[in-house]
């Protein structure tokens, strides 16, 4: 059967109308670069490398550069176009499958440049495709839609695009929430192979109800129905993908051709001598429902399942942690480990619990956490002092020979403001308690004279106010001292004590402070 007859029978169309060449290259490059990034990530994953570690064809991923076509480097293999057309025409699908040089370039990229990584995808598809096919079959949708995650994420559930699209089906945050996928700090169901698959298929079904054409559905899945609707309007209402091709965003121009190429590659990989890689993936798995929070390392340490394997089987958990406090969560394990988990469940939950769980800190009493600041120093007792007219914290700290910061802590003061009649708790040496207790009945002058160790000169009366002497303590700054006395500034202290431009002070130094007016 000739190529023309095949095209007519199977609705295969080929176009060599040669669209604007820059548009072909750019659409190809954008999708191809995204594919290459996800392929690199998948190829470097634990499950792939475990399967390939004994293989002779493991290559250096870091040196496998992007395939970037130059303006004159459209790949062409003699006779390949007719071969691709014939093979595509034999694919039984309700989808309209088209062919042109854009599709051909993607086929060649899959089957040549990225052949080893495509072999890894072929291997891992044995795990994912049954999930996709079952969900598609339930909705009676084309099974070929299973190839969408190939171009979306390279079958990498942890794939994240520059725009934030996540998972096998590359849901954006808003679309994921709209599709009722749970997204929290610990869980991202966009990365859950099963839940994201059912959400994506429902979304695709909704799009098909709008367009009635699967290629337009695939385009809308990539760029959104809004962009497809705009392209249809600009194409005078035409509703064929290739009719609206030039009105679509550049990435979407390469998206449908890439999908067709992925379909071709997975259907005809044997004809290109591609062999699915042996993937270290447990085909037999079992899912347990967990009702206590648990860390992956607790599971790995107790029953011996490799940590990376737990991660690969449970990609929806973002921090290796299942937060099963208020509801049950699924845990997927290789079947041979499920019995061990059930037998050792209590040991798993209790293993190094303090290391992996912070429940002990969910309720905090600030008073109990800061009580060490309120307790008296050893050998000290509390006395009560009633604030009098003219008292400042700076005065009181000097009289009782304590720090201003200590007065604040003991009395839970945020600043230096105190009021007349306020009762302050002050901790003093027990042997001097009776001495300090008398301060409540002493005059201001008597208190100023009471401690010759810290105050050597009484208050001086001047025409412009009173002068007191402050003894500098360790850690004091001019700013701290100025705040102790209302109306006192750093400049006035510097001037009164001839400190000069250095403004240096040291513990034990007595400063002359002008207060009042």
Q: Residue 515 above 60 pLDDT?
A: yes
pLDDT in tens, 133-180: 999 999 999 999 999 999 999 898 988 888 889 999 999 999 999 999
Q: 435, 452, 469 — which closes off a domain?
A: 452
Over residues 208-233, the mean pLDDT reads 95
**Poorest-pLDDT segment among 60-74, 184-198, 482-496:** 60-74
Whichever domain contains 236, its CATH number is 1.10.530.10
Shortest CA distance to 31 belongs to which of 309, 214, 223, 201?
Answer: 223
Do 404 and 509 have their domain in common?
A: no
Q: How many CB atoms lie within 10 A of CB 486?
A: 11
pLDDT in tens, 192-215: 999 999 999 999 999 999 999 999
pLDDT in tens, 3-38: 333 333 333 443 433 444 444 455 455 555 655 555
Distance of CA 453 to the CA centre of its chain: 59
**Is residue 280 situated within a structural domain?**
no
**Poorest-pLDDT segment among 97-111, 229-243, 435-449:** 435-449
Whichever domain contains 416, its CATH number is 3.10.350.10
Do 395 and 376 have their domain in common?
A: yes
**Is residue 327 situated within a structural domain?**
yes
* pLDDT of the residue at 362: 57
* pLDDT of the residue at 24: 46
- For residue 147, the cross-strand partners are none
* pLDDT of the residue at 384: 93
**Given the DSSP bridges, would you call strands 13-15 and 98-100 parallel, antiparallel or unpaired?**
parallel
**Is residue 503 situated within a structural domain?**
yes
**Is residue 277 situated within a structural domain?**
no
- Helix orientation angle between 225-234 and 193-211, rounded to the nearest 10 degrees: 20
CA distance 52 to 191: 24
* pLDDT of the residue at 34: 58
Over residues 459-471, the mean pLDDT reads 65
Q: So which residues are the catalytic ones?
A: 152
Do 201 and 310 have their domain in common?
A: no
CA distance 122 to 141: 22
**Is residue 14 situated within a structural domain?**
no
Residues 6+ positions from 191 with CB-CB distance below 8 Å: 157, 158, 166, 167, 168, 315, 316, 318
Do 266 and 141 have their domain in common?
A: yes
**Is residue 406 situated within a structural domain?**
yes
Q: 245, 272, 299 — which closes off a domain?
A: 272
Do 319 and 219 have their domain in common?
A: no
Q: 452, 476, 496 — which closes off a domain?
A: 452
Do 114 and 243 have their domain in common?
A: yes
Do 131 and 263 have their domain in common?
A: yes
Domain count, the chain: 4
Do 388 and 433 have their domain in common?
A: yes
Range of the domain at 517: 456-517
Do 208 and 259 have their domain in common?
A: yes
Q: Residue 1 above 60 pLDDT?
A: no
Do 125 and 231 have their domain in common?
A: yes
Do 221 and 255 have their domain in common?
A: yes
Do 113 and 225 have their domain in common?
A: yes
């Amino acid at each position: 059967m000739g190529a023309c007859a095949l095209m007519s029978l199977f609705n295969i169309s080929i176009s060599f109308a040669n669209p604007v060449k820059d548009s072909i290259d750019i659409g190809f490059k954008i999708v191809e670069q995204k594919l290459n990034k996800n392929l690199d990530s998948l190829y470097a994953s634990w499950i792939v490398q475990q399967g390939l570690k004994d293989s002779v064809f493991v290559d250096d991923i870091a040196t496998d550069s992007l395939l970037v076509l130059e303006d004159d480097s459209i790949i062409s293999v003699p006779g390949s176009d007719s071969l691709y057309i014939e093979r595509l025409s034999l694919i039984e699908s309700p989808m309209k499958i088209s062919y042109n040089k854009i599709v051909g370039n993607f086929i060649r990229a899959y089957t040549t440049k990225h052949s080893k990584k495509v072999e890894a995808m072929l291997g891992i598809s044995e795990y994912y495709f049954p999930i996709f096919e079952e969900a598609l079959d339930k909705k009676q949708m084309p099974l070929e839609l299973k190839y969408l995650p190939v171009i979306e994420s390279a079958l990498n559930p942890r794939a994240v695009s520059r725009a934030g699209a996540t998972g096998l089906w590359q849901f954006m945050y808003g679309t994921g929430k709209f599709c009722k996928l749970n997204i929290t700090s610990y869980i991202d169901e966009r990365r859950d192979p099963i839940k994201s698959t059912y959400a994506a298929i429902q979304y695709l079904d909704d799009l098909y109800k709008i367009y009635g054409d699967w290629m337009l559905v695939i385009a809308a899945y990539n760029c959104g129905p809004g962009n497809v609707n705009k392209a249809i309007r600009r194409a005078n209402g035409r509703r064929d993908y290739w009719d609206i091709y030039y009105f679509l965003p550049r990435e979407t121009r390469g998206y449908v051709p890439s999908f067709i190429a992925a379909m071709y590659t997975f259907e005809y990989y044997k004809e290109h001598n591609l062999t699915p890689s042996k993937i270290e993936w447990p085909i037999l798995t079992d899912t347990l429902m967990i009702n206590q929070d648990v860390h992956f390392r607790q599971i790995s340490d107790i029953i011996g399942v490799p940590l990376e394997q737990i991660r690969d089987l449970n990609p929806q958990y973002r921090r290796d942690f299942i937060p099963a406090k208020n509801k049950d969560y699924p845990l997927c394990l290789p079947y041979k480990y499920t019995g061990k988990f059930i037998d050792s469940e209590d040991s798993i939950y209790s293993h190094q619990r303090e290391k992996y769980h912070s429940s002990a800190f969910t309720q905090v009493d600030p008073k109990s956490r800061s009580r060490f600041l309120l307790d008296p120093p050893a050998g000290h007792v509390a006395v009560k002092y009633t604030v009098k007219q003219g008292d400042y914290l700076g005065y009181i700290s000097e009289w009782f020979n304590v720090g201003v910061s200590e007065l604040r802590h003991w009395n839970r003061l945020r600043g230096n403001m105190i009021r007349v009649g306020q009762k302050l708790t002050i901790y003093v040496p027990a042997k001097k308690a009776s001495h300090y207790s008398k301060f409540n009945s002493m005059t201001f002058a008597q208190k100023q004279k009471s401690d010759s160790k810290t105050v050597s000169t009484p208050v001086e009366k001047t025409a412009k106010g009173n002068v007191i002497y402050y003894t500098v303590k360790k850690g004091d700054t001019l700013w701290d001292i100025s705040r102790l006395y209302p109306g006192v500034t750093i400049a006035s202290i510097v001037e009164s004590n001839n400190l000069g431009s250095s403004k240096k002070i040291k513990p034990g130094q007595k400063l002359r402070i002008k207060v009042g007016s």
